[in-house]
Structure 1
């Protein structure tokens, strides 16, 4: 049966009956396309800014904004990822009323949190950026970009939250179009505002804001349509603590991943500035943007995996649960291995895409040599962490999300740079990847045995 002819009931039933390979591809492919397109337009932004503005400090200035934008993303995931997982589980339990209650509650929650953080970030933007590694040379660029892009971030959070729920409720293709629309708008407007209107870094931020507005309108209009599987229902917008608590509990794992990532970025940026100056911070832009492509493909696989795992866990179909996990994990390892190989073979070509200054390029090449050595492990680690999240096991997902950034990365940043200099910062990446993957594999296999034992009891 073609997707276009599926009834709302059939959309949910196929999560528990269709062949795993087929249904994982159906849900993951649109998610992969959507996330990769989103990654590409972020990469295009960096490329355009790096070549449109003739000042090497602009690349470092953009790098300083990454931790702040990561915090914004974290707040979106706190609600979006939690809502999508809870919706999948309750739909697997045939509780559509609760799914619609989650849907309504999350609108107000997203807007309240968004208004609070936009106001707070705007008031304290300079000290925040300095904390994340801004120098006197890079602060003006970082400040200008953030002040213009912050208002649109609330729309970004709204889009992220409801795009995930759209996918979880049986519309993976439409969720893909959401990302494609935003990416297309931004890819057209950013070069126009930078090269055509000569608006500088402000133009890139305005292009992003417009893209966020259009995508938010598109995704929210889906849930105002009463013909869709889930839609907004009168009486579900009043905040209910038990609903909010269940969403935030699950969303806490990806939230903490990103908060930890933001904190680690601040530590990394400040450490890099101490050992390599602004050029070293610029090198992180190259690494982050390069691995983003591969990480976003893996995240797309996880997004496709999440409703299948959540639905089958909720309905007690454990064999389908594990089949989905191993297929997703194997695919993710292949993707991250490709990233390792490309980063090792073409570091100069990759760096030259984002910057013009030779000193920055040389530093970025050295960065890629170190940081991509063990990147092939990252695919498994991301899928395993998201598997726990999809099961609603937020505590274990939170623990795994913190192993790399907090438990291993911070000690490595304290131990290695004093002995190895700038290379010690780069070396902390593969060491942390390896240690975190070992811990993740151990916990995953233990949990699988526990689920199987409970089923046979």
Structure 2
């Protein structure tokens, strides 16, 4: 069951990773290193919009899967309706809150110079206006996951990535729209695939039982449940966006005359990193509906077995992949990157940053466990510490002590430190579950 739920997710993440890398390559060819830098600078906003989608998607997955485990199909159908309603509300808020303040937002992200700022504004304009398309696809995928349709769920992301790459080539090279073309391709590909997503919902889930009145009969408690259980996922992604914005600005402080090169190098490392985190994210997202369903069915043995297997497999696979990738990168990147300084900076950052990835997978799985069993406060605490408080504190302290290299060391250090509170909360919860079972 774990493999059936996680392998399609991994395929989806890999496809997104390939698209993300190709996107940067296309822009690098079309407008030079500045194009790669713009993608890196605007990445926090892209992640922020995605995190809003995953907030509703993961929260809806947790709520719907538990209702299905309890055989409460009417509430599951109402949860589907409330998930889409919440998507419309949040995407509207994103446009209203961000679009009028684009110049200020770009300044916060750490853009330096008119060229960086101009291209960044072009990219963000279309990305923000199309946020509802990005969010809706993520929510649709989450609903399919809750119904055990992980294969169809992730076909959507794979197909969206393929269409995105094709549209990228057309808009960037044929129409010569530059970074604006890349953003338009992202939004349009999501809109196209969303139609297929709605067909999957109709064909594979209880969407046929979702009546129009469910959208009109707003259930505040149900909305709150979805929001509350999705907040940990939101902090997981949005916290990453905040950290990216912080480090972009710290690079300007400690990078001296080479800050632009460091930003480009860091952007390259992030693109490669998306592929490396595929197994752990696939496992973490895949266990959520499995644990949620079995917890709702009061099958504690299955819950604990799934949790244990997920942690062992995630840590083992991620460790192997990290060691192999570090070795390969030292050979390949020197050949690909023509700029010797850029190649050296990229290899240095990559080697240091990836050392903490095995710890990250365990923390994400523990967070998914708490989401699945409805313990949102514990999940939120873990993600706040893991994604915002500990990383930013580490960056500020290590940067002030060791300069630019301290920024890179701060990441694996924060990953290790974040694991301890997560493990402590997990052990306490498991002890409580055993006490409940015995009584």
TM-score category of the 2 structures, normalised to the smaller one: over 0.9
User: Alignment partner of 1:392: what SS?
Assistant: coil
1:48-447 matches, within 5 Å, as: 48-54=26-32, 56-136=33-113, 137-225=115-203, 228-231=205-208, 232-238=210-216, 239-276=218-255, 277-348=259-330, 351=333, 356-447=338-429
Deviations 1:70-129 (A, max 9, x none): 211121122111111000011111100001001112222211211221233221111112
Structure 1 residue 410 displacement after superposition: 1.9
Contact 1:50 1:354 in 2 (8 A): no
Give the root-mean-square deviation of aligned CA atoms: 1.9
Is the alpha carbon distance of 1:413 and 1:325 closer, same or farther for their aligned partners in structure 2, counting shifts above 3 Å?
same
In the alignment, the residues of structure 2 paired with residue 352 and residue 155 of structure 1 have an alpha-carbon distance, to the nearest angstrom, of: 38
Q: CA offsets per residue over residues 161-205 of structure 1, 9 Å max, x none?
A: 121111111212211211121011012221232233322112211
Contact 1:153 1:212 in 2 (8 A): no
The answer for unaligned runs of 5 or more in structure 1 is 1-22
Alpha-carbon shift at residue 354 of structure 1 (Å) = 8.2
SS, match of residue 235 in structure 1: helix
Q: What's the TM-score once normalised by structure 2's chain length?
A: 0.93
Aligned residue pairs, count: 433
- Cα 1:409–1:170 shift into 2, 3 Å: closer
3-state SS of the aligned residue for 2:263?
helix
Correspondence list, 1:38-49, <5 A: 38-49=16-27
- Secondary structure of the structure 2 residue equivalent to 1:407: helix
1:100–1:179 distance in 2 versus 1, CA, 3 Å: same
Larger helix proportion of the pair? 2
Mind listing any 5+ residue stretches in structure 2 that lack a counterpart?
Answer: none
Distance 1:380 1:100 in 2: 32
CA distance in 2, matches of 1:350, 1:98: 52
